[in-house]
Structure 1
Amino acid sequence: MATIAFIGLGNMGGPMLANLIKAGHGAHAFDLSENALVRAEAAGATRAASVAAAAGAADVVVTMLPAGQHVRAVYMDEATGIIGAARPGALLIDCSTIDVDSARAVAGAATDAGLRMVDAPVSGGVGGAEAGTLTFMVGGPDDAVEAARPILDCMGKAVVHAGGPGTGQAAKICNNMMLGIQMVSVCEAFMLAKRLGLDAQKLFDVSSKASGQCWSLTTYCPVPGPVPTSPANRDYQAGFAAAMMLKDLKLAQQAAASSGAATPMGSMAESLYALFCNQGDAGALDFSGIIRMIDGQS
């Protein structure tokens, strides 16, 4: 069993840490939130006084942070960062969803310091984090990915090695761009069906077995009824918040601009989610809640 430092204990990081502890790993936890630290201690972690203190006490460092700027600061700050504080030979695993350029910059700095690092963003939402059924898209050298795999297996059901540094992030933003586009298309189809007098269950029965089938329809149907476990049946309480979808769509558009890729549907999905998230507290709703805007609801 490894000694793990876990930094970033929010809605995803907290339950991921709990699953590592359940698997028998020792854990040092750090977060800026006192409530998050209290929950981590209740799960069995030792509270660390700082990022550097947590990293210096561990064989493996796992991070789950909001954005690229936070990842760069937490890893690369000369005085307080993980790279400067980590033990020789430590393994670094960043599970944040960030821009590819930041992921590669931090990985390069870790390599220069003689440390192994992988970018390992996740798919599966809060429910997957709690259940330990996340999918990890992992970028990094073969040896680092294989070293990270037993740790990731404690938190998820699938670990996919996407390629070299940054490719985990690339896989995540490409996947979520598809997801955002597909959800909008499913919402539009149900709202068209509504206006044509076609029952939502009947459309689901047809499309779930026909060429319109996709995850946004069969697992996360945005209208109440056809999929009882979807957020539509609990007033769009977030499993994956609309604000997080918007973040990922923005990352996809940044990557498209920097790489010269044409993503017109991705651009439109970003614009629609931006409009939705600007409606009061809509960003806190599940991303499937965009059907309300498409339906003309305020």
Structure 2
Amino acid sequence: MKNVKIAFLGLGAMGSRMASQLIKAGYDLTVWNRTAKTAEEFAKNGAKHAMTPKEAVIDADFVISMVRDNEASKDVWFNDETGAVSGMKKGAVAIESSTLTPGWIKEMVGIFYKEEISFLEAPVSGTRPQADSAQLIYFVAGDKEAFDIAKPVLEKMGSKINFLGEPGNAAITKLVTNSLLGIQVAALSELIGVIKSNNANVTEILNAVSQTSPWAPINNFISSTIINQNFAPLFPVELISKDFNYISTINDADEQISLLKRVSEIFHAGIDNGLGDLNMTGVSKLFE
């Protein structure tokens, strides 16, 4: 593994945990982060610290990006002066794990193809605890040969690796996953508000509902954080709001996504009311 060189770009809440798994696995790792102090901490644990994405990817066999949004992705990969693509060697594999739009993913494919660099989109499902325990679920699409080569690396960070074919499919899968999650958060937030407004026992009622078929396993977590007012940011309101904005761009028939628009409005209202930094379940405060 020490002969395999990996560059990891973006050491936020998720990226830092994913990169830590690669260090544990013994890979030759170089890291870059917009805030240099975070990367310096990794250098203390055996990783190399690069000052720019372009510097980080020199001689790397795999380059993994985990950043906030389309704009950050564009800058990390394609910035005229510091972008990673200009420093990557031919035959390297670029892996974009950020949650992005299918449209931007497809644009990236064309650019990497011209540079003779294999490209995979590989967003993940899971939050900080799953990243800490290498239990992330991967949605991967793109070059199948590159996927076969990269899969052992991804398996060091995730427990399930799904290959979904053409570029853009993984982005759609991730946005659908997060949207379904957000719908359940919004629904439970409002329903718990209804229960409280009728002076009924929230715990007793939800315990009864949890025994029925409409109850999804994730609702145990969602409801417990709302009831206990535990809004430590595993998946912040502002980020899931971004994902609702993104999924609205993949369907031109606006009338077909009215539910998604309504839920998106709830998360936007959360941001407007100062809840953006809270966990997504913090929007329940809107219904108190």
**Fold shared per TM-score above 0.5:** yes
- Post-superposition Cα deviations, 1:105-125, rounded to whole Å, max 9, x if no partner, equal 112211222111111111111
Cα distance, 1:25 vs structure 2: 0.8
- Please give the secondary structure, in 1, of the residue aligned with 2:68: coil
**In the alignment, which of 172, 175, 180 is matched to residue 173 of structure 1?**
175
- For structure 2, list consecutive stretches of 5 or more residues without a partner in the other structure: none
**In the alignment, which of 231, 245, 253 is matched to residue 250 of structure 1?**
245
1:35 corresponds in structure 2 to: 37
Q: What's the C-alpha RMSD, in Å, of the aligned pairs?
A: 1.8
2:270 counterpart letter in structure 1: F
- Please give the secondary structure, in 2, of the residue aligned with 1:220: helix
Pairing of 1:69-84 with structure 2 (within 5 A): 69-84=71-86
- Please give the secondary structure, in 2, of the residue aligned with 1:44: coil
The question of whether the paired residues in 1 share the 8 Å contact of 2:238 and 2:271 is answered with yes
- Please give the secondary structure, in 2, of the residue aligned with 1:154: coil
1:194 counterpart letter in structure 2: K
Determine the C-alpha separation between the residues in 1 that align with 2:49 and 2:210: 47
2:257 corresponds in structure 1 to: 263
Q: Is 1:293–2:264 an aligned residue pair?
A: no
Determine the C-alpha separation between the residues in 1 that align with 2:104 and 2:79: 14
2:276 corresponds in structure 1 to: 283
1:290 counterpart letter in structure 2: V
Question: How many correspondences in the alignment?
Answer: 286
Cα distance, 1:96 vs structure 2: 0.7
Cα distance, 1:197 vs structure 2: 3.5
**Moved segments of 4+, more than 6 Å:** none
2:18 corresponds in structure 1 to: 16
Cα distance, 1:34 vs structure 2: 2.1
Percent identity over the alignment? 24
1:218 corresponds in structure 2 to: 220
The question of whether the paired residues in 2 share the 8 Å contact of 1:193 and 1:200 is answered with yes
Q: Comparing 107-116 with 211-220, which one deviates more in the overlay?
A: 211-220
- Please give the secondary structure, in 2, of the residue aligned with 1:118: strand
Determine the C-alpha separation between the residues in 1 that align with 2:40 and 2:57: 19
1:240 counterpart letter in structure 2: F
Cα distance, 1:49 vs structure 2: 2.7
Determine the C-alpha separation between the residues in 2 that align with 1:261 and 1:73: 34
Cα 1:136–1:90 change in 2 (3 A) is: same
Cα 1:66–1:39 change in 2 (3 A) is: same
- For structure 1, list consecutive stretches of 5 or more residues without a partner in the other structure: 225-231
Cα distance, 1:39 vs structure 2: 2.0
